[in-house]
Amino acid sequence: MERIVKKRADLRRRHQRLRQKVAGTAERPRLALYRSLRNLSAQFIDDQVGRTLLAVSTLDFPENTYGGNVKAAETIGKLAAEKAKAAGINQVVLDRGGRQYHGRVKAFTEAARKAGLKI
């Protein structure tokens, strides 16, 4: 149990360190990723106003679709980029949430780039 508490504290510490450097504006919002075991969600946030501009999640998928794998991350990345382009967002700053740029985070980001979003 102590190992899990330390792991969560380390993740929180990495995310706080990252947030000192990354901030979203109206022209270039922050793309905040949240990865759980079963789902992935992304928010486009303007930190100057403190407002979420757009949100996408694997929870929006049909019922029998699993949202915790690389395939789902690629799908949600493409969907997020399409919605962002429709809302007039072309450039974003990536907030990985303290996670490594690996696996689902990388798949999401690469799919969003392929769909035309500048990260």
Cα–Cα distance measured from residue 89 to residue 92, given in angstroms and rounded to the nearest whole number = 8
Q: What pLDDT shows up at residue 10?
A: 94
Tell whether 56 is covered by a domain. yes
With respect to residue 108, please indicate whether it lies within any of the assigned structural domains: yes
In angstroms, what is the C-alpha Rg of the chain? Answer: 14
User: Is the whole-model pTM more than 0.85?
Assistant: yes
Q: Which domain holds residue 12?
A: 2-114
- For residue 119, being part of any structural domain is answered with no
Is 22 a domain residue? Answer: yes
pLDDT at 93: 95
Residue 20 lies in a domain: yes
Q: Is residue 80 in a domain?
A: yes
Number of domains the chain contains: 1
Residue pLDDT tens, the chain, 119 long = 899 999 999 999 999 998 888 888 888 999 999 999 999 999 999 999 999 999 999 998 877 778 889 999 999 999 999 999 999 999 999 999 989 999 999 999 999 999 999 99
Quick one: pLDDT at residue 26?
84
Looking at residue 64, its pLDDT comes to 73
CATH code at 38? 3.30.420.100
